[in-house]
A and B are shown apart, each in its own frame.
Chain A
Amino acid sequence: MILSDLLGSEVVDAAGHHLGALIDVRLEISGAPHQLLAETVVVGILVSPHSRTSTWGFERRGANAPAIIARPQHWLHRGMFLIAWTDVAQIDEGRVTLRDGYERRDPVLASTAHPH
């Protein structure tokens, strides 16, 4: 499975209730440099309740310029939250199921880390 297959998947809780759409997968560079790329670790998934479109990078802290794009973007992705990878129970085609008792985390990323 490649990451772009996941994008746009419906995200549901353990009981099957609709939560939103998976709009991005957050990776973290763990630091250990390899031959081509540094080792990356999946941190979690970004879930947006109202839109399946990309955030265009506006999920990060301080990304609010220009207002003409940032405002509609923030509105479109209002209520967006981050789910830790450990809270993901199952991944099917087009559907991601979360574990019982998953935690909605703050999606805003400190601007130093890389979101991809």
Chain B
Amino acid sequence: MRRIFAVALGILTAIGGFVDIGDLVTNAIVGSRFGLGLAWVVLVGVVGICVYAQMSGRVAAVSGRATFEIIRERLGPRAGLANLGASFLINLLTVTAEIGGVALSLQLATSVDPLLWVPVAAFGVWIVIWRARFKLLENVTGLLGLTLIVFAVALFMLSPDWGSLAGQALQPGPPADEQMSTYWFYAIALFGAAMTPYEVFFFSSGAIEEKWTEKDLATSRANVLVGFPLGGVLSIAIAGCAAVVLLPASIDVTSLSQVVLPVAEAGGKLALSFAIVGILAATFGAALETTLSSGYTLAQYFGWSWGKFRRPAKAARFHLAMIICIFVAMAILATGVDPILVTEYSVVFSAVALPLTYLPILIIANDREYMGDKVNGRAMNLIGSVYLVVILVAAIAAIPLLIVTGAGS
């Protein structure tokens, strides 16, 4: 019974944890411009994150080593450091986007300028990381994030023309007024948002925080294989809402307030309050996860003691690094830069960074010295290799498309 409860809780938190500011914003933008014409990318991304998240969870549980310890060992010091630098900077950009997202969702609830909320959001992230237990912070934000299901409910309440939505999804390609390059730019952004590398750092470090053993693998696999696809459904629902309400009104999404308008249209204040709570929880949860991820990556690379299971004084550098990251994120946001813009860049650069994370995981998952007989099977290697190619293509194409399309404008 307790087992079933644990699995259910894990799945629920995985659903809520899948969606972050990147998924919210990118799906809404894509929905408002391309309808469901890019829904297939979410599908591809969800399968990819399932493959690699469970692979990294298995590596962590069997070898007892987190992603960046492995990256350092296998890539050598120089390539490892370059990988760390790139992964860390992009993760920092994501921290900034998430804290900005918290401020924006607080603005929706209060109409107070997000700049004033930024320090509050940053302090909140810090105090929770400093004080709260790992399991608790994961479960609370994950469960509250589940209220985002209101987007799926809203889509039904809007009683859209399902035939035309299905038509958009099944006949991918840009509408007449959009360019092919813009379409592919957003395809990559959406892919980056779905497969954000921090989820893997967090997942594998979390496995060690919670002292997983091989016995916990079944639970973790269930969490991933059920939770992430349902999170993907939520993502598509967000795009669907935008496609039904905003696309016909020629509204290209540029702000978070537009993302929630379809929900208010469908379900009024009650639905809207669910959406705002959900967005707040999802962005706050992701802010915690990305901040922890930046601490994890640094600490694991440099061999500092790390982990929420240690008291902060026992992992001083780990905590100090995170405090500095939060400050940097705050400083970036204090310049008045639009957090939505930061988000758009963060998902594109996440796509660039994907091979940096996923290549080492694929390598180590095949290493008998670490994994014993728990190495990847042929099928897992086949799909892992296919995704490695997809990831590489996306990573290489991302920056040129960013330039050619003027960041999708």
- Are A68 and B389 interface neighbours, CB within 8 A? yes
* Contact A56–B363 (Cβ < 8 Å): yes
B residues in contact with A54, CB < 8 Å? 74-76, 79
**Which residues on the B side are within 8 Å of A111 (C-beta)?**
368-369
Name the CB-closest residue of B to A3: B77
Interface of A is mostly: loop
B362 touches A66 (CB 8 A): yes
A19 on interface, CB distance cutoff 8 Å: no
Q: Chain B CB within 10 Å — which of A67, A68, A114 has the most?
A: A68
Picked from B73, B78, B360, B376, the residue with its CB within 8 Å of the CB of A66 is B376
Q: How far is the CB of B303 from chain A (nearest CB, A)?
A: 13
Report Cα–Cα, A53/B359, bound state, in Å: 15
With a cutoff of 8 Å between Cβ atoms, the chain B residues found around residue A4 in the complex are 76-78
A114 to B367, CA, bound (A): 12
Q: CB of A63 within 8 A of chain B?
A: yes
State whether the Cβ of A43 lies closer than 8 Å to any Cβ in chain B. Answer: no
In the bound complex, CA of A7 to CA of B368 (Å): 25
- B74 contacts A66, C-beta separation under 8 Å: no
Interface SS of B by simple majority:
helix
Contact A67 to B73, CB < 8 A, known contacts A53-B79, A111-B368: no
Interface residues of A in 1-55 (CB under 8 A from B): 4, 7-8, 53-54
Cα A7 to Cα B375 in complex, Å, equals 29
Contact status of A65 and B389, CB under 8 A, knowing A53-B79, A111-B368: no
- Contact among B75, B76, B79, B362 for A69, CB-based, below 8 A: B362
CB within 8 Å for A57 and B388 given contacts A7-B76, A7-B78, A111-B368: no
* B363, A69: Cβ atoms closer than 8 Å: yes
The reply on A99 being an interface residue by CB < 8 A is: no
Are B77 and A7 closer than 8 Å at their CB atoms? yes
Contact B78 A69 (CB under 8 A): no
Taking a contact as CB atoms under 8 Å apart, the answer to whether B367 and A66 are in contact is: no
Q: Which residues of B contact A78 (CB under 8 A)?
A: none
Q: Is B366 an interface residue (CB 8 A)?
A: yes
Contact partner of B375 (CB less than 8 A), chosen from A60, A65, A67, A116, is A65
Q: Please, which residues of chain A bring their CB within 8 A of the CB of B381? A: 65-67
Which B residues are in CB contact (< 8 Å) with A53? 76, 79
Question: A62 near B: Cβ within 8 Å?
Answer: yes
Residue of A nearest to B70 (CB): A57
What separation, in Å, do the CA atoms of A7 and B75 have in the docked complex? 12
Q: Tell me, in angstroms, the Cα distance from A66 to B388 when the chains sit together.
A: 11
| CB nearest to B384 among chain A residues | A66
What distance in Å separates the Cβ of B396 from its nearest Cβ neighbour in chain A? Answer: 16
Q: Which residues on the A side are within 8 Å of B376 (C-beta)?
A: 65-66
| B366 touching A63, Cβ below 8 Å | yes
Closest beta carbon of chain A to B367's beta carbon, Å: 6
CB-defined contacts of A114 to chain B, threshold 8 Å: 369
Question: How near does chain A come to B12, taking the closest CB pair, in angstroms?
Answer: 33
Q: Say yes or no: B74 contacts A65, CB within 8 Å.
A: no
Q: Judge whether B73 and A62 touch: CB under 8 Å.
A: no
- Across the interface, do A63 and B78 meet the contact criterion of CB distance under 8 Å? no
CB distance from A50 to the nearest CB of B (A): 16
Cβ–Cβ contact B385 & A63, under 8 A? no
Contact of A57 among B74, B359, B362, B375 (CB under 8 A): B74
Tell me, in angstroms, the Cα distance from A66 to B366 when the chains sit together. 7
Tell me, in angstroms, the Cα distance from A111 to B368 when the chains sit together: 8
Given contacts A66-B366, A66-B384, contact A56 B77 (CB under 8 A): no
A window 66-116: CB within 8 A of B: 66-69, 111, 114, 116
Alpha-carbon distance between A4 and B359 when the two chains are bound, in angstroms: 22
What residues on A are CB-neighbors of B76 within 8 Å?
A: 4, 7, 53-54
User: 21 A–B contact pairs at CB < 8 A?
Assistant: A4-B76, A4-B77, A4-B78, A7-B76, A53-B76, A54-B74, A54-B75, A54-B79, A56-B74, A56-B75, A57-B74, A57-B363, A62-B368, A65-B366, A65-B375, A66-B366, A66-B376, A66-B381, A66-B384, A66-B385, A114-B369
What residues of chain A have their CB less than 8 Å away from a CB belonging to chain B? 4, 7-8, 53-54, 56-57, 60, 62-63, 65-69, 111, 114, 116
Q: Across chains A and B, which 7 residue pairs bring their CB atoms closest together, nearest first? A: A54-B76, A68-B385, A66-B381, A4-B77, A65-B366, A66-B385, A56-B74
The interface of chain B, by Cβ under 8 A from chain A, is 73-79, 359-360, 362-363, 366-369, 375-376, 381-382, 384-385, 388-389
Q: Apart from A53-B76, A63-B366, A65-B381, what are 19 other A-B pairs with CB-CB below 8 Å?
A: A4-B76, A4-B78, A7-B76, A53-B79, A54-B79, A56-B75, A57-B74, A60-B369, A62-B368, A65-B366, A65-B375, A66-B362, A66-B384, A68-B385, A69-B362, A69-B363, A69-B388, A114-B369, A116-B73
